[in-house]
């Protein structure tokens, strides 16, 4: 019996340590809740295209406002997946760009625990996004790859694809 406990300890302890290290590496540190959504996104370093688009659309000050807002934020990599010429065309058409960007914003602070209870959410743009919870959380056809990045005026959920309104 003693050999069995010793053997289990030899297996269990390294597995526990490895799991703790993986969790530490994957789970982000708590956000600086003194920063608003825009500053939080900019400081993350993976939303440069989103920041540029928000600037071009004139939405920076809005998302720096009181909110609260929930932003489904596509990464630079997500913007790179758009068909060739799409981003450039959007950046030249302020009305269409604003429509696309506000389609990524939901009024209020909707944390992940609340998102998973929903089947849809009305965006600032006016249309609903579809929310599905199966093999993770999806907003339309974009996967949420990181959730609950808290800012002073809302929350950011990172998505792997730019979602487009109908």
Stronger pLDDT, 98 or 14, i.e. the higher one = 98
DSSP H stretches of helix in 46-130 = 48-57, 60-63, 76-80, 86-92, 94-102, 112-115
CATH class of segment(s) 31-159? mainly beta
Average pLDDT of the residues of the chain: 84
Q: What is the pLDDT of residue 80?
A: 97
Backbone angles phi, psi at 67, to 5 degrees: 65, -145
- Rounded mean pLDDT, 154-164: 97
Question: What pTM did the predictor assign?
Answer: 0.79
- Residue spans of the domains in the chain: they are 1-29, 31-159
Question: What is the per-residue burial (b if ≥16 Cβ within 10 Å, else e) of 80-97?
Answer: eebeeeebeebbeeeeeb
| Tokens found for residue 32 | 């600086």
pLDDT in tens, 27-76: 444 444 589 999 999 999 999 999 999 999 999 999 999 999 999 999 99
Q: What is the pLDDT of residue 34?
A: 84
Burial group, residue 21, by CB count within 10 angstroms (0-12, 13-18, 19+): exposed
Q: What is the pLDDT of residue 23?
A: 32
Stronger pLDDT, 7 or 79, i.e. the higher one = 79
Q: What is the pLDDT of residue 137?
A: 96
Q: What is the pLDDT of residue 32?
A: 47
């Amino acid at each position: 019996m003693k050999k069995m406990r010793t053997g289990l300890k030899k297996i269990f302890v390294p597995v526990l340590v490895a799991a703790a290290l993986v969790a530490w590496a994957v789970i982000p540190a708590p956000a600086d809740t003194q920063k608003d959504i825009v500053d939080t996104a900019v400081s993350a370093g993976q939303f440069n295209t989103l920041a540029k688009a928000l600037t071009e659309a004139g939405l920076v000050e809005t998302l720096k406002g009181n909110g609260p807002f929930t932003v489904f934020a596509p990464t630079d990599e997500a913007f790179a997946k758009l068909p060739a010429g799409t981003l450039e065309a959007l950046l030249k058409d302020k009305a269409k760009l604003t429509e696309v960007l506000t389609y990524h914003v939901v009024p209020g602070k909707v944390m992940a625990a609340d998102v998973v209870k929903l089947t849809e959410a009305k965006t600032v743009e006016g249309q609903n996004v579809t929310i599905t919870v199966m093999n993770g959380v999806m907003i339309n056809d974009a996967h949420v790859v990181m959730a609950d990045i808290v800012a002073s005026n809302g929350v950011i959920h990172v998505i792997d694809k730019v979602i487009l309104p109908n």
